Amino acid sequence: MGTRLRGAELLSHPGLNKGTAFSRGERLALGLEALLPYQVESLEQQVQRVWAQFQELADPLQRFTFASALRQNNLTLFHRFLEEHIEAVLPIVYTPTVGAAIQRFSATYRTPSQGIYLAAPDQERLAELLAQGMVQTGLHPAELLLVTDSEGILGIGDQGIGGIHICQGKLAVYTLCAGLDPERALPVVLDVGTDRADLLADPLYPGWRQPRLRGAAYEDFIATFVAAVEQLAPHAFLHWEDFGTANARRNLESYRHRLASFNDDIQGTSGVASAAVLAAARGLGQTLAEQRIVIFGAGTAGFGIAERLARLLERGGMGPKEARRRIWLIDRQGLLRSDHYDLPPSLRAFARPLEELTSFPRDAHGAINLQTVLEQVRPSVLIGTSTVAGAFNRAAVETMAAGVERPIILPLSNPTALAEAQPADLLAWTGGRALVATGSPFEPVSVAAGLRVIGQCNNCFLFPGLGLASVAVGAREVSEEMIDAALEALALAIPATHDPQAPLMPPLTAVQAVSRAVAEAVAFAAVDQGLARLARSHHEAIERLNAATWSARYRLIEAL
């Protein structure tokens, strides 16, 4: 690897900086001798020092700041540190700690922040500014753009431009899990304003202090951004992240056939949750068609899961109408019903006809609530995407457990404080019979048979492999078949597929192997559908994957 950078300028480049690991020859050739301590250290020694420093910090936000500074200084060291201490560090740079860091963005912002900001007042210059950002970060063209407008961050909603942290966290996960080269990916925040009164009134908020663009103005901005990407990086993979419910699906559907597009909140969450349900059913010797599924939370994630499960039921031979009748979807208005005339067309497909609800009592507001649905439906699967903490209370869980021998319960809302239930309670209320996976990490739970490891339905088991495969084979678009292939590969890797007492997700320590399996399945699906621009066979797809996979190791740097 050659470079024209020398001295302090080289040490300030996170992709090239090796710190004390620069060899004697490199130091001499690159003007570094006086800028570094005498000792030449290995990457392993550097990781040891970083780990000791990390452990001295007790507060998660302090650890987040430490890890962010490391990433801005030395990408190779950051990613090797993350890889070697994944269970301790991933929850810091990604969920759940990243949510708290985003909420403090205005107070903690530092330049540079490894990402680019495209603001509404500069709409007419988006192509110029995107090119500027790519040049400054060494990306031209970018292979993967991870973009957010920060309206639907985790379970905490509109966070203005603080969403840059979720983009950075996700890209770290891409590299950790699947080996995406961190210098070939770009975090992008679309600053279309914010509706948070506290941010608008905060003199330290560094974003555009105006209410969010809505309607035609918002759609025009998004269209201008996509056109800029098409102009500068026509083969890029576009990862849409944490857009608001009203915009997420429209953006995906509008542009998925123009650029390879993927929305993790819709497609990633649905894929991981569906893989967990498939694995749980198979481990119990059952099929998906035998399940009665209740989803509490009909936003972007909940509706995406409902769609994905219905699609899988149809692939198994069930008609579209019958597939949707196996799924009961509940939102703020209670169970979705055909007389809810304000439902968008997409949700209306899951509305229950009134004639089947005559025995369902209404609450004081005229709604059919979660408890009533559980009593009437006796579901085998209960999924939470509501961000209503404690919604799966003892009465609800005991009602469900009375109607099925091994209930499958997935409280997926995060961060941790917003989970619909605590795993320890779910296992206690079901006598240890529940198969449980959560959205946030939880400690193992002691049951009569011993410690039960709680699987985390973390999207990191799906999107990194899918994104790497799409980049590697040059996918023209991300098809539903490619996502189906990803979740099937994940389901096969879930321990509960073979033993219902085993975890309902793989351990984080297995995430790289799982990501590779997902990447191969996705790449093959793209080839089989004729969507792979750079591979015409499975063999070529494997070669492309191997060539695209980056590892956290130092390369020899020579002066140009």
Annotated catalytic residues are 94, 170
Nearest to 12 by CA among 65, 78, 74: 74
Q: How far apart are CA 196 and CA 160, in angstroms?
A: 8
Q: What residues does 437 pair with on adjacent strands?
A: 455
Q: How far apart are CA 412 and CA 429, in angstroms?
A: 18
Q: How far apart are CA 375 and CA 385, in angstroms?
A: 20
Contact 218, 145 (CB under 8 A): no
Mark out the alpha helices in 210-355 (DSSP H runs).
Answer: 215-232, 245-255, 269-283, 300-315, 320-325, 345-348
Contact 61, 75 (CB under 8 A): no
Residue 386 DSSP symbol? S
Q: What residues does 451 pair with on adjacent strands?
A: 446
Nearest to 145 by CA among 180, 102, 177, 178: 180
**DSSP result, 496-530:** GGT-TTS-SS--GGGHHHHHHHHHHHHHHHHHHTT
The verdict on whether omega for the bond into residue 141 sits within 30 degrees of 0, i.e. cis, is: yes
Contact 313, 289 (CB under 8 A): yes
For the CA atoms of 181, 457, 242, 258, the dihedral, rounded to the nearest 10 degrees, stands at 60
Q: How far apart are CA 180 and CA 200, in angstroms?
A: 36
Nearest to 187 by CA among 239, 236, 223: 239
Whole-angstrom Cα Rg for the chain: 24
The amino acid that residue 161 corresponds to is I
Contact 279, 294 (CB under 8 A): no
The amino acid that residue 281 corresponds to is A
The verdict on whether omega for the bond into residue 112 sits within 30 degrees of 0, i.e. cis, is: yes
Q: Which two tokens stand for residue 476?
A: 């023209």
